[in-house]
């Protein structure tokens, strides 16, 4: 497929990162294949994670087609860009169509990016994960590659200060070794294994981070930060879902996550 918009978007992002002196560190990029389909499964701590997860594939010269909620495609600014970059819209009320779209893309040799937690983790730990990434990899016969992101939450995360012009922020992008799910494997078991691997990779990235600050809002509790605990984060997520249902019941539009 023709990619007229995607390369200029990457170039613009890189130019912005250089201007802000964001200190991107990519490890394990050799695990991303230079040809053929693959699923990149990343943890989710920021609204900007799709940008940085995509950089995991840049050394291999690949573009990543990310699965993102339909509301992003409906937006008057982000929508045209997302469609032009051939990302995959996900309607949460009819997820089968997005799943089929992703599997076709994988079989066609594309790399598809997925955030198995579905929503941003407020605790900055890895939440429970959905099995779609594992099932897609098994259905398409492609590798499943974990990606741990850290530092992106400092720029823009859920319920936290947004500072897109913050300078000198270290960003870690860690790519793990691929696994090869099979059609007869147990998706729940493989998803549990993926969560364990991503948690270990994220913990390693957090502990190796060059700017650890005890008491910082963007640090998880277990490393001395003031982010919500996983239990507190789950309660906040539940309250948000209930509030969204109430707004829908009252006939109000629901704002994006």
Q: What is the CATH number of the domain that holds 190?
A: 3.40.1130.10
Calculate Rg over the CA atoms of the chain: 18
Domain enclosing residue 192, as ranges:
6-209
Query: Would residue 214 count as lying in a domain?
Result: no
Instruction: Give the span between the Cα atoms of 177 and 163, in whole angstroms.
Output: 32
Instruction: Give the span between the Cα atoms of 49 and 66, in whole angstroms.
Output: 10
pLDDT tens-digit map of 50-103: 999 999 999 999 999 999 999 999 999 899 999 999 999 999 777 899 999 999
pLDDT tens-digit map of 176-202: 999 999 999 999 999 999 999 999 999
pLDDT band at 37 (very low <50, low <70, confident <90, very high): very high
Instruction: Check if the beta carbon of residue 233 is closer than 8 Å to that of residue 123.
Output: yes
Q: Name the domain count of the chain.
A: 1
Query: Would residue 104 count as lying in a domain?
Result: yes
- Residues sharing a CB contact under 8 Å with residue 144, sequence separation 6 or more, in sequence order: 38, 39, 41, 133, 134, 137, 178, 179, 180, 181, 194
pLDDT at 245: 87
């Amino acid at each position: 497929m023709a990619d007229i918009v995607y390369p200029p978007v990457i170039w613009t992002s890189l130019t912005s990162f250089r201007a802000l002196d964001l200190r991107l560190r990519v490890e394990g990029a050799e695990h991303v294949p230079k040809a053929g389909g693959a699923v990149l499964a990343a943890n989710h701590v920021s609204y900007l994670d799709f940008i940085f997860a995509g950089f995991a594939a840049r050394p291999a010269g690949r573009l990543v087609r990310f699965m993102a909620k339909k509301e992003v495609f409906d937006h008057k600014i982000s929508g045209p860009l997302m469609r032009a970059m051939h990302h995959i819209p996900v309607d949460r009320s009819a997820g089968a169509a997005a799943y089929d779209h992703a599997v076709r893309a994988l079989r066609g040799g594309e790399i598809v990016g997925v955030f198995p937690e579905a929503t941003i983790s407020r605790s900055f730990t890895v939440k429970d994960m959905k099995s779609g990434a594992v099932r897609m990899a098994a259905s398409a016969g492609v590798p499943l590659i974990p990606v741990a992101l850290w530092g992106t939450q400092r720029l823009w995360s859920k319920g936290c200060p947004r500072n897109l012009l913050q300078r000198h922020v270290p960003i870690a992008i860690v790519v793990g070794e691929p696994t090869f799910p099979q059609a007869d494997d147990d998706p729940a078991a493989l998803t549990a294994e993926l969560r364990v691997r991503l948690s270990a990779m994220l913990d390693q990235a957090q502990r190796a981070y060059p700017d650890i600050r005890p008491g910082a809002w963007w640090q998880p509790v277990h490393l001395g930060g003031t982010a919500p605990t996983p239990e507190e984060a789950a309660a906040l997520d539940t309250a948000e879902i209930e509030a969204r249902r109430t707004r829908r019941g009252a006939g109000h539009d629901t704002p994006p996550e």
